[in-house]
Amino acid sequence: MASSSSSGLTFKLHPLVILNISDHHTRVKAQNQHLSSASASSAAANGGDAATAAAALPPLPRVFGCVIGVQRGRTVEIFNSFELLYDPHSHTLDRCFLEKKQELYKKVFPNYYILGWYSTGTDAQESDMQIHRALMDINESPVYVVLNPSINHSQKDLPVTIYESELHVIDGIPQLIFVRANYTIETVEAERISVDHVAHLKPSDGGSAATQLAAHLTSIHSAIKMLNSRIKIVHQHLLAMQRGEIPCDNSLLRQVSSLLRRLPAMESEKFQDEFLTEFNDTLLMTYLAMLTNCSSTMSELVDKFNVTYDRHSRRGGRTAFI
Amino acid sequence: MQRQRERHSETAQRGWMESSASIARQTWELENNIVSTDGGGGGGREDPDAIYWYDEAAQARAHQEKPWEGDPHYFRRVRVSALALLKMVAHARSGGNIEVMGLMQGKTDGDAIVVMDAFALPVEGTETRVNAQADAYEYMVDYSQTNKQAGRLENVVGWYHSHPGYGCWLSGIDVSTQMLNQQFQEPFLAVVIDPTRTVSAGKVEIGAFRTYPQGYKPPDEPVSEYQTIPLNKIEDFGVHCKQYYALDITYFKSSLDSHLLDLLWNKYWVNTLSSSPLLGNRDYVAGQISDLAEKLEQAENQMAHSRLGTFLMPSQRKKERSRMRE
């Protein structure tokens, strides 16, 4: 059902959405777990067997919600999301609830439109198409974001997939099916800092300037390490291609060559000028700060000197402690 | 054979990198006394997600007992969830140079206030609007109702607003608003975020405060970390700075959050490298330098006036001089 999308839209996802969905899921799971453990413990107290109490973990519940954001031309940027009520019997989302929530969010974020919906689970299912169709009157081509909440430590990729719906002709009948779409993660500087902050639990209050500098350098260092490893992988791949071990992929070669051709951008005259101006400005400011620091220390020293060698005191000044 | 060796070296390298990354993280956590979240209140439960369970009975009991009435210094810590932090910072940043505000939802946990979520309020905050919250009550009621239906059961436990560019502290209006809140809506917390300084400093500028009741003399507190405050706000800061105290903020996240954030790192390391704080903060830095110049001028003038007086400088100028440590 999920082949690759051909609509040409680029999707950008913000980390806030991912955390939103994960929080929603954790909440519902925690509530259900406590409800089931409470009922299981009461069942055990009433004489039920220990086996049912042990195996009482309910299957991971699915949560549903709506994603909102901005669509500019061919770029769809998903900024935020909120929860929705799901009716498991009719397989539909509560419409008036959605509208009420949408009104509230419109007041605070007037630019964001409903771009689609999300749910947790492993893959897009048939029943989801109903919900998708219901949303199509708000947005002609809604997106469907799926988050896989099972924690699998061996996977390297984000367990988030974005599906679009496309009209395909299958067996002569035009049907809507879900097709997978590619997306990138987009962050604003502030978002990146807070995500970084929470991800690595850096000390938030002061610490000394040294620990903050260390933290900053550590994050830069790991980013550079990551860059290094990625370059190595591409390099190995190209070497293998050269030796003929893997079939030559021309599109990949084109991308690599365009990337390499961009590199000498830093050697141009104009860039060096701008860069050095920027550099000198920063150095000047640091120098200024140091100078002011020095003058303040100096004035403190003068104060202390004046206090100890006060000329107007009874001892007549210039009295040194022996 | 060579391919196998390469593949092995690749995986070995990856494995080494992962293990070194995890070792680095563990060293970090050890050095900074990060305690992983244990069960909220329940004895011995090691489930890090237990904090997400909203215990209605326990919360109702706490509300009845009101252990915070006797001690103005009762709440000492704040635990903010990853989601709440992200939402608040994103909202504060989106306001640009305008102060924005919102509410936080959560619960209490002994002497800690736990903030699970935050949402924005559709009011444009200016420092002169004392009762900005009155406009937003309808929004708040609607939002809380829909949230309860959608499964978020926590109550409003505080408010946050932003001070773009001038630091995390409570202004006079903020202090009076918070005192009012603490009289009628306990338990309540005030949080201030500075999105401009967050971006320029590379770490999150956030402060959590509670006010003392009128007339209460706080015991002498150790001086908190010094922060630079622009000249036009320094009076407001100084007059009220003894009327509230700051709480320690720690953060927590669920296991799924940690897992997702780890994976996210694989995607946004590019942004870490490509972000250039010099370019992004030009305006802010220019503003800070001009503010500094004004302060120096003021200091000089005061020195000229008191040339024949004492040689001891008043503490305000000392503060200005010592801000050069940046």
* Residue B102 C-alpha from the chain's centroid: 13
**Closest Cβ opposite residue B273 in set A153, A194, A223:** A223
**Is residue A301 over pLDDT 90?**
yes
Question: Which residue type sits at A45?
Answer: A
Interface touch B254/A306, C-beta < 8 Å: no
- Phi, psi for residue A62 in degrees, rounded to 5: -95, 140
**Cα A82 to Cα A317: distance, rounded to the nearest angstrom:** 75
A310 and A223 in one domain? Answer: no
What proportion of chain B, given as a percentage, has pLDDT over 90?
A: 1
User: Domain residue spans in chain B?
Assistant: 51-274, 279-305
Interface touch A195/B264, C-beta < 8 Å: yes
**Is residue A102 over pLDDT 90?**
no
A149 and A67 in one domain? Answer: yes
| Chain B touched by A192 (CB under 8 Å) | yes
Interface touch A19/B260, C-beta < 8 Å: yes
| Chain B touched by A274 (CB under 8 Å) | no
Interface touch B151/A100, C-beta < 8 Å: no
**Cα A93 to Cα A317: distance, rounded to the nearest angstrom:** 87
Name residue, tokens 């409470």: A38
How high is the pLDDT of residue A176? 79
CA angle B303, B305, B307 (to 5 degrees): 65
A134 and A51 in one domain? Answer: yes
A170 and A28 in one domain? Answer: yes
Which residue would you say has higher pLDDT here, A263 or B21? Answer: A263
Averaged pLDDT for residues A163-191: 79
**Cα A143 to Cα A13: distance, rounded to the nearest angstrom:** 12
A180 and A40 in one domain? Answer: yes
A21 and A165 in one domain? Answer: yes
A181 and A105 in one domain? Answer: yes
- Decide: residue A200, CB within 10 A, 0-12 exposed, 13-18 middle, 19+ buried: buried
**Is residue B38 over pLDDT 50?**
no
Averaged pLDDT for residues B148-168: 84
Is residue A260 included in any domain, yes or no? yes
Diameter over CA atoms, chain A: 111
How high is the pLDDT of residue B135? 64
Averaged pLDDT for residues B283-309: 79
Q: Which of A35, A138, A145 is nearest to A80 (CA)?
A: A145
How high is the pLDDT of residue A47? 43
Q: Which domain holds residue A261?
A: 204-266
How high is the pLDDT of residue B324? 46
Q: Which of A160, A186, A201 is the last residue of a domain?
A: A201
Strand blocks (E) in A4-142: 10-13, 64-72, 75-83, 86-87, 92-93, 113-120
How high is the pLDDT of residue B132? 52
Q: What is the pLDDT of residues B94-148, one digit of tens each?
A: 888 888 888 898 888 888 888 888 888 877 655 455 455 566 777 888 888 888 8
**Is domain B51-274 given the CATH code 3.40.140.10 in the classification?**
yes
How high is the pLDDT of residue B34? 46
pLDDT range class, residue B11, cuts 50, 70, 90: low
When scoring A80, A102, A198 by the number of chain B Cβ atoms within 10 A, the one with the most, hence best to mutate, is A198
Q: What is the pLDDT of residues A215-229, one digit of tens each?
A: 778 878 888 888 888
Q: What is the pLDDT of residues A208-266, one digit of tens each?
A: 567 777 777 887 888 888 888 888 998 888 888 888 877 778 888 888 888 888 777 66
**Is residue A297 over pLDDT 90?**
yes
A251 and A110 in one domain? Answer: no
Q: Is-cis flag, bond preceding B187, omega within 30?
A: yes
| Chain A touched by B83 (CB under 8 Å) | yes
Long-range pairs, A36-45, Cβ under 8 A, ≥24: none
A214 and A158 in one domain? Answer: no
**Beta carbons of A80 and A67 less than 8 angstroms apart:** yes
Which residue would you say has higher pLDDT here, A189 or A257? Answer: A257
Interface touch A201/B122, C-beta < 8 Å: no
Q: Which segments of A155-206 does DSSP mark as H helices, in order?
A: 189-200
pLDDT range class, residue B23, cuts 50, 70, 90: low
Is residue A3 included in any domain, yes or no? no
Total tally of structural domains belonging to chain A? 3
Residue B225 is given by DSSP the state -
A227 and A108 in one domain? Answer: no
**Is residue B259 over pLDDT 50?**
yes
A156 and A38 in one domain? Answer: yes
In angstroms, how far is the first alpha carbon of chain B from the final one?
56
A218 and A318 in one domain? Answer: no
Interface touch A191/B86, C-beta < 8 Å: yes
**Beta carbons of B115 and B80 less than 8 angstroms apart:** yes
Averaged pLDDT for residues A56-83: 80
| Chain A touched by B4 (CB under 8 Å) | no
Averaged pLDDT for residues B48-76: 75
How high is the pLDDT of residue B9? 52
pTM value surpassing 0.80: no
**Cα B121 to Cα B105: distance, rounded to the nearest angstrom:** 13
Which residue would you say has higher pLDDT here, A101 or A41? Answer: A101
Question: Which residue type sits at A263?
Answer: L
Q: Which of A227, A245, A266 is the last residue of a domain?
A: A266
How high is the pLDDT of residue B14? 52
Q: How far is A114 from chain B (nearest CA, A)?
A: 17
Q: What is the pLDDT of residues B194-218, one digit of tens each?
A: 988 888 777 788 889 888 887 777 7
Q: What is the pLDDT of residues B215-257, one digit of tens each?
A: 777 776 655 666 778 877 888 888 887 888 888 888 887 777 8
**Is residue A203 over pLDDT 60?**
no
Is residue A103 included in any domain, yes or no? yes
**Is residue A107 over pLDDT 60?**
yes
Interface touch B271/A220, C-beta < 8 Å: no
Q: What is the pLDDT of residues A117-169, one digit of tens each?
A: 888 877 767 777 778 888 888 888 888 888 887 777 777 777 888 888 877 77
How high is the pLDDT of residue A302? 92
**Cα A169 to Cα A176: distance, rounded to the nearest angstrom:** 9
When scoring B269, B303, B306 by the number of chain A Cβ atoms within 10 A, the one with the most, hence best to mutate, is B269
